[in-house]
Amino acid sequence: MKKITLVLLSTVFSFNVYAAVGTDYTQPYTNDQLYFEFGKKEGLVNIVDDFMINLLADPRTRTSFEKFDQARIKAQLVEQFCEILGGPCKYAGAQMKPIHASLNIDKAQFNALVEALQKAMDKHQVSFDTQNKLLAKLAPMHRDIITR
């Protein structure tokens, strides 16, 4: 039930958070409490490692990741999550829209990506509330990632 609720919440977030509360994923949380709740950089590295394993194992997301440099993607995700969660990192990767433009990602693939992230966070015992805080910051990216 928790997974279904989280998937539904993430889907709702992905379409309503930005408009409803003005959340902007580019604005990190102002303190580092969430960064610590995720286990700091070491915790984020572990979560992102499992996230990538989940993405490559899922036929809905595999093709969007298998032909690219996974080590680079993981490093950039750690950097991005670290900054968003109020950690000391600065994301220096590409903007979401141009990097995803040619990938032809649909809503089902995006939702599968969210599920893969949730599964990784669950494995590392990130609380439901803490997961939702990260998802709320990431949700507005759907506009730049979903291209079909």
Q: Write out the chain's pLDDT in tens, 148 residues.
A: 455 444 444 444 443 333 333 344 457 888 899 999 999 999 999 999 999 999 999 999 998 889 889 999 999 999 999 999 999 999 988 787 777 776 778 899 989 999 999 999 999 999 999 999 999 998 888 777 887 8
Q: Write down the pLDDT at residue 142.
A: 79
Feature table: binding site: 100
Give the pLDDT of residue 100: 74
Question: How many CA atoms are closer than 13 Å to the CA of 91, on its beta-carbon side?
Answer: 21
**Separation between Cα atoms, residue 64 and residue 104, nearest integer Å:** 9
So what's the pLDDT on residue 16?
36
Q: What is the pLDDT of residue 126?
A: 98
CA–centroid distance for 18 within its chain: 15
Please give the pLDDT value at position 58. Answer: 97
Tell me how far apart the alpha carbons of residues 83 and 91 are, in angstroms, rounded to a whole number: 6
Question: How far, in whole angstroms, is CA 92 from its chain's centroid?
Answer: 16
Q: Would you say the pTM of this structure is higher than 0.75?
A: yes
Binding site per annotation, positions for heme:
100
**Interior/surface letters 38-76, b for 16+ CB within 10 angstroms, e for the rest:** beebebbbbbbbbbbebbbebebbeebbeeeeeeebbeb
Can you give the pLDDT at residue 94? 77
Domains and CATH numbers, the chain: 2-145 (1.10.490.10)
Q: Give the span between the Cα atoms of 74 and 140, in whole angstroms.
A: 20
Q: At what angle do helices 107-123 and 128-138 cross, to 10 degrees?
A: 150
Query: Backbone dihedral region of 117: left (phi > 0), alpha (psi from -120 to 50 degrees) or beta?
Result: alpha
